Each structure stands twice: as structure tokens, then as C-alpha cells.
Structure 1
Amino acid sequence: MRELVFTLDYEPGCNAVADALADHPDARIRSLSLHATAESLWRVDHATGPPAALAAIERTVLTADYYADCLAAEDCAATQRTEVLEHTDDTLVLYSYWERTPACASVPHIALDHLGDGVLFETRNEGREYTWRIIHSGAGDLRAFFDALEAAVGDCAQLEVRRVTQAQAAASASDASPGIDGLPPEQREALKAAVDHGYYETPRAVDVSELADRLGVPRSTLTYRLRRAEAHVMSRYVGDGSADEPTPAL
């Protein structure tokens, strides 16, 4: 099996989801499941972020044209629906189904056309970057796949190939980095500031509102960043009885 990882970096105004995520850098969307046939595509996505970011993402995906990965530059008359499966303060789970037309294009369908059947997909959206991880048999025409993908995205996105290699499993516990490694920069900054300013001292030298003022961010944003950073660190150090945990594939 072969592994292919690449990103599409969208220009402003070309992708409504990318625009929403660019406005909310604390938010992330990752695929929980993604399947495609020649005629359709369906997927379940998990978004995390502060409440305002998740509300913006929900509005976007429910109103944007062809959220489920259509790359057509103009209306291609496809039929799609998106449903909210769960929405809490820090989690949004979305289901999308899309029936394509001859004018439609998408990464999964281009992959099926050029890489063959049995292709597996994993995605992550952060800011304007849409990262794809594809596992395929190694058959097919990889150059034709990239040519077709570049033609479909046109000037709307920059394509960057990150990795083309034998498929690898997620990193083992012995390979993962402990502590704050792997945290997004804004969460790492929030955690470091909390330590530096005595947020974790007893009694606390600063409360979350004061710390938010020092960092120049809303209180709700800082609370979310600290909660996510704390969960990351705790899961590494005590979550499974060891200092490390497997790092996600994406």
C-alpha cells in the first residue's frame, strides 16, 4: 500500500469553509469517516474550537454550496445535504452526502478515476489549509491524478505534496514526543503564559480573565485553549500510564 499526503491552500473567497476557519484559527475540522463511489460521496466530520468558531462553521456548512468537497468553480447542479449530528460548546459533528453530476469534481472522485478502487481517505482542515491523506494500492497513474487535481482547483488553491511513500501506521508510543510537543502554537503560548504568570500556583497569582487581558484574547478563547492544552498534556502523562501516546496520523 502507498501513502500520499498533500495540502490544498485556498485563496480567500474560493472556499467558504477555508474562509470561516481562517477567521477562527483555534478551530479544526477532521474527518471521522469518508467514502466515495463513482456517483456519490458521504462523510462525517468532527470540528473543535471555541463556541463562536463552531457556530460560524455550522452556519457556513449549512449554507455554502457543495460543502462535501465539490471542486467545481461554478454551479454543477449536484444534490447534497448536510446535517448536524452533535453540537456542544467545543464539538461539532457533521454528516454530509453528495450526489455528483458529470460537471462535478472532487479529490475522492479524482482519486478513484486515477488510483483505482479501495482508496482510503483522511482529511484535516486548519485555516486555509486542507490536508489530505490517501492510502491506495500503488496502482494507477499518480501523475495523472495530480494533473487532474490541479486542473480542478485552478487558481483557487495551491497544491503542495507533503509525502509519497509506503503507508505507515500512526507513530508508536515510543516514537511520540512528550509534553507540549504537538500542540498548536496558540495553545502552547497560552499554556506557557499560564505557567509564567502563576495561573497554576496555589493560590493562583492570576485568574483566567487577567491572563486573557495580558494575552489580548477573549476570555472564552483562552479558556478553550487552556482546556485543550491541558487535555493534551494530561493524556500524555497520565492518560495511559505512560509519558506518551500515539500521535494522530494527521
Structure 2
Amino acid sequence: MREYVFTIHYKEGADDLMDLFIEWPSLHAIAISHASNETMWRLDYVTGKPEALDAFEALIADIAHCDAVIGDQLVVDREYEVILRDPQECVVYTRRPERDDARSVTSIINEYLGDGHLCQTDRRGNEYEWRILVDDERAVSDIYDRLHAGVRDGVSVELTKISDPTHWTNNIIRSGGLPPEQREAIEAAVELGYYEKPRQISAVNVADELGISQSTYQYRLNAAESWLAKQFVEHL
């Protein structure tokens, strides 16, 4: 098995739901989806600031276009249920029929790989990452061509990674218990090189990048590191 990652990029204004992820940087969604020729099912685990989750829940209740659909058709015949809702996380179940004029990304992948596969997705900012396991590498170029040909204005797709499977494990640390401010602190530290050897940036400069005081940043970073360490030990 090989792992392939497609990343779909959205310009602001191209999709209502992805616009919400762009507007709220704390919003993060991980999902598992499956599709047959007739139906698509998905389960989204969404985290973020309470205000971001309120906006997310309000939008999915009244959204006309499905962001996981190739093409520009409205999707109105769908059902969804919020099966878990906490201040900083929610889990959403979605089911909808497939249509010839509005095919989900999952069903297109299913068309080339056959029944029984799963897709794992990761949404943040303007990027929607699709991760699939493939045992027939010849199908990958066909999937990419189909997705590339079907995207609407303001949307682009690229093949961003090919590797051995890396993210398909039972020991997944759920980030819902980590407040968005602390997650932002540790993500910024990683992205800006705070944990590199040698260190590429100081905590003072990371705090400046985030527009907060050093003491506030150091508190959030220490709290995030403590939470992650405890989660890691629990999942050993």
C-alpha cells in the first residue's frame, strides 16, 4: 500500500464553507468518508474557538453547496446530524445521495479504486487535504486528472505527497482538549522553527509574530507542551 495526498486549494469567495475556515484560523476539521455509486457518508471531527464552531454549525444548517463536490451544482438533498457538541469541538455525521451532476470527491476516488476504501481529510485555512491508501498506483493519475478537470473557478488541486502510510493509526491524539490559543502557540513554534536544532527563532519573536506578550505566549506554550506530553504517555 502507498499513501497519496491530494490538496485542494480554495481562493476566498470560491466556497462558503471554506471561506469560514479562512476567516477563522482556529477552525480545523478532520474527517473520514466513504462512498458507493449511490451514496456518500462522512464523519467530521471539528475543533476551534467557540465562536468559530457556532459559525460552522450555523452555516452547515443552511448551506446550499457541498465543498466536497466536484463541479458547481447545488446540493440540497442531504442529511446531517451534530452527534457531539462541546464548546471547542463537535462531531458531524453527513449522508447524501450521489448525482451525476454533483459527484463527491470520495465517489470519484471510489470510481477508480473500487468499493471498500476510506478517505481521510484535513481542512484548515484555504486547504482541504485528501489522504488515500492505494494499491493500484496507475489509478492515481486518473483520479488527479478527473479532479483537476472538474474543479470550479477559484479552486485548484495538486498531488502533494506520495509515501508509505503514516497517518492511519489508532493512537490518534484528539486535539479537542487543547484550547485554540494553546494550539496556535505550539503550531506557531513548530512552523517558525522554535523546535529546530539549532533553534531558528526565540519565544520572544514567536510571540511578536502572534501579536501577544512574551509572558502570555510562554504560558500558552508551556500549557500546550504539558498537555501533549500527558496525551502521549496515555497513548503509549
Q: Structure 1 length as normaliser, TM-score?
A: 0.70
Measured against aligned partners, the alpha-carbon deviations of 1:35-88 in whole angstroms (never above 9, x if no partner) come to 11101101111111110111111112221124372223133x552112111111
**Where does 1:233-244 land on structure 2 (aligned, <5 Å)?**
233-236=229-232, 238-240=233-235
State the structure with more CA Rg.
1
1:186 to partner: Cα distance: 3.8
Residues 68 and 19 (structure 1), Cα distance of their counterparts in 2 relative to 1, 3 Å cut? closer
The answer (yes or no) to whether the contact 2:46–2:89 under 8 Å persists in 1 is yes
**Counterpart for residue 68 of structure 2:** 69
Match of 1:38 in 2: 37
For 1:145, the equivalent position in structure 2 comes to 143
Alignment equivalent of 2:126, drawn from 118, 125, 128: 128
Check the 8 A contact 1:7/1:131 in 2, yes or no. yes
Q: Offset of 1:231 from its aligned partner?
A: 2.1
SS where residue 13 of structure 1 aligns?
Answer: coil
Percent of aligned positions with the same letter in both sequences?
Answer: 25
Question: Structure 1 residue 215 and structure 2 residue 212: aligned?
Answer: yes
Give SS of 1:30's match: strand
Note if 1:118 corresponds to 2:116: yes
Mark the CA change 1:215 to 1:168 in structure 2 (over 3 Å): closer, same or farther. closer
Q: CA RMSD in A?
A: 3.5
Counterpart for residue 157 of structure 1:
155
SS in 2 for 1:235: helix
Cα distance in 2 for residues equivalent to 1:105 and 1:30: 20
Following superposition, the deviation at residue 227 of structure 1 comes to 6.1
Gaps of 5+ in 1: 174-182, 198-213, 246-250
Instruction: Tell me by how many angstroms 1:123 deviates.
Output: 0.5
Match for 2:94 among 68, 93, 96?
Answer: 96
Could you say what secondary structure the match of 2:78 adopts? strand
User: Which residue number corresponds to residue 55 of structure 1?
Assistant: 54
Count of equivalent residues: 208
**Corresponding letter in the other structure for 1:36:** A
- In structure 2, distance between residues paired with 1:72 and 1:126: 21
Gaps of 5+ in 2: 172-181, 195-202, 205-210
**How far did 1:147 drift?**
1.1
Normalised to the residue count of structure 2, the TM-score between the two structures is: 0.73
Partner of 1:25: 25
SS of 2:70's equivalent?
coil
**Cα–Cα, structure 1 residues 67 and 87, in superposed 2: closer, same or farther, change >3 Å?**
farther
CA contact (8 A) 1:87 1:93 kept: yes
